[in-house]
Each structure stands twice: as C-alpha cells, then as structure tokens.
Structure 1
Amino acid sequence: MHVLVVVSSPAETSLVIALAQTAVDTALSHSATVTLLDLYRERFDPVLPDEEIRRRFSLEDDVQRSVRELVRADLVVFVHPEWWGQPPALLKGWIDRVFRHGIAFTFSGDEFTKKQLVPLLTEKSAAVFVTSDMDGATPIEMIWKDSILGYCGVSDIRFHRFCGVRRSSHSERSKWLVTVETTIQDIIARRDR
C-alpha cells in the first residue's frame, strides 16, 4: 500500500505538522510506503497558468511528481488549517494543478454531445484532517467530500475537523493525534483485506 500525505501549513512546528507526521508514522508502522508532500517547505507554485490549462498537463517537475504520487497512492491524506471555511490557497492551487482532467476525472461522449463525467480516482481512499478556530458549521467538509474527492470518484472518505485549536488543551490535542492514528490504521486494515 502506498500513502500520499499532503500537508499545507506555513508554520514549521504546528498542530497541522504534528497531525501529518502522525499520519506518516502510522502508515509506516503498518508497512505502507509513504510520500510526504509539504507544500510550504517545497515552495509549491499554486498558480495554474493559462498555457498549462490549454496543454492539459504541466511541464514543471514538482507538478509532475505530485501527479505521479497521486496516481500511485492507494490512500491520499490531506492535513491543513481551515481558513475562511476553505483549505489554504496553496493547497487549493495544488488541487487545481494536480487533480486535472485525465488524471482525476475525464468525460465521455460523442463530439458535440453532452459529456458524462468519468471519475478516475475510484480505487482510492482519502482522509482529510482539518484544524480550525471556528466552532460553527462551514463548507469545508462539503468542499472535500462533494466538490473535490467525491467528484473524482473517491467514495471511502474520512473527514475530521478539529475545532477550537487556539484554546484547546494538551489533552484535546493528544486525542486528535490518536484520531489520526486510528483513522489511518482503519483505512489500511480495510484496504489490506
């Protein structure tokens, strides 16, 4: 089993980084191979240029590597803070450049007719771990489950939103780390059957 962990946090030491490292460590302890993409440390360029849209693929090494890792992965894990009810712009840009036509989805149908969506990530599982200072409902879960992962055919989606981060206790944060660990363990166990 191969696990791709995509983390988007500007801080080098943060709860987001600790959650991502827990996902990596848990997967490794269950004999999975793991690729960690830390978008800030790798200085990923989130801007999707017009020529890349028209060409339908990127010539940039980091985008090509991300596409290879997405295609290779059995489990894709996203870890990020919630900003304004959404993933950070850097992560959104990564999705724009990597979850592309021909990679994550395509369309079928005769020319000049209505096309049917064909999701291409149907064999993958996903886990999303979001930290937030907001307590109320936001669109973040719907964005991941319906607009991104579900659209591309991922049906085994685990979503966890950890709220009240700034005022959280050490005990609460420890429980969140355990949630990441048990979620990754459960997905790996189910896929290994």
Structure 2
Amino acid sequence: MRQRLMEATVDSLVEFGWAGTTTTVVSRRAGVSRGAQLHHFPSKQDLVLAAVGYISERRRTELEAGIADLPEEGRTRAVLEVLADHFTSPVFFAALELWVAARTDAGLREQVGDLERRIGRETHAQAVELLDIDETRGRNRQLVQATLDLVRGLGLAATLSDDSARRAAILDAWATTLDHELER
C-alpha cells in the first residue's frame, strides 16, 4: 500500500503539480481508502515528504539503470545522454514540483534541500565515475558540475516543450568540449 501511495503521489505531482496534488486525489489514484491513507500520512505535507524520499531512490535507480551499457567509443556523449534522460524524466518533473513548493514552505524547503544536496553529491560522484576521470585534476570538478547544471537546465526547458532536437545539438557540442577539456 505504501508503494502505491508513493507512486500515486509522484504521478499526481507530475500530472497536477503541487497545488493539484491532494490527499484525496492520491488515495483515489492509489486505490486505497482515504482513512488508510490518512492513517499512514495524516497530512499532505507528511505524504509529500515521504514521497521526497521515494523520489530520491527512484531517481538514483533510474540513473544507475541508464549507465549499465555505456560504450567505450563515444562514451562522453553517451554519458551526457544518460544524464539528460535522467533530468527529463517524470521523476525529475515530480521533484521539480517539490522544489517549487519548497521555495515558499520553510518546512518542506529544509527537507527537500537536505535531500537534494545528498542527491546532488551522489549524482556528481556518478558522473565522475561514468566519465572515468579524477576530479582533483585540473578543472575536472568544475566541468562535471557545469555538466550537471547544463543537463538540469535542459530538463527545465523540457517541461514547457519538446526541445529534443535542440537538446541533442547542445549535448553534441558539450561532449566535444568535455573531450577536449577534461584531464583524463
């Protein structure tokens, strides 16, 4: 039941946003009684905060799934594609709804901020590993961070329209830049 509630919360955040995600909508979508949902999560805040943890685990799992079959030839571009897919996924869009809501809700901001800092560190470490670099060399650390900022921004742009052609061209150019600038 908990997993159904978490999935329904994430789906609701993606489809209806923060404002449209209510405990009634979530319980209906999860196929559980409102009483059962309220027993586990007495408020929307409780439900969404639990979903924050669930979202972080799903985001990590999605990213790890995308890295299993990276090629050696064209690896940098393939890594960028995995990262871009991660930041244009429904899970990222649900997390984005939480970020927006957290901007004006101090309690949610603290929870989301702590979680996002942890996820950010994990994603950075995964990118370093995927790119097979030593981040202490040269400007590698800054280039990885710029990469994550870039794909996050491309993810934000994808919330408004399908910009996959533009995104692909940008990732092609950035892969060339990284291949020239990263110290291997």
TM-score range, shorter chain: 0.3 to 0.5
More strand by share: 1
More helix by share: 2
Which structure: larger Rg? 2
